[in-house]
Amino acid sequence: MRQVVAFTLLLAGALLAVAGTPRAGTPVAVAVSPSSGREVAARVVAQAGGHLVRPSRFHWIVVAHRAEGAAAQGDFVAALYAAGATFVFDPHVAGGCL
């Protein structure tokens, strides 16, 4: 039974990783620590060279886009992680939840 549960979690994680990978040129959802606020998420986006598109219903997640003339999307995602993002994902994966 444990093997079935472990396999299911592994498969779900892999699917989320593939589906949640931000696409080039599209906005990304940026999550910081839940104990942080929207200000921290906004600071992470600014330090990475992006701008806010909109907040989400969760105070630790914002939707952002790389600024015009900034580095490529992959570099933007890496810059978000370097600036302190906990998780960066495609906001369409969460649908209306954000």
Instruction: Write down the pLDDT at residue 41.
Output: 95
Cβ-contact 28, 90 below 8 angstroms: yes
pLDDT band at 59 (very low <50, low <70, confident <90, very high): very high
Alpha carbon distances (Å) from 48 to 69, 81, 88, 89:
13, 8, 12, 15
15-31 pLDDT, tens digit per residue, is 555 555 676 778 999 99
Specify the pTM: 0.74
pLDDT digits (tens, 9 = 90+) for 40-55: 999 999 999 999 999 9
Structural domains of the chain, with CATH: 22-97 (3.30.70)
How far is it, in rounded angstroms, from Cα 73 to Cα 63?
14
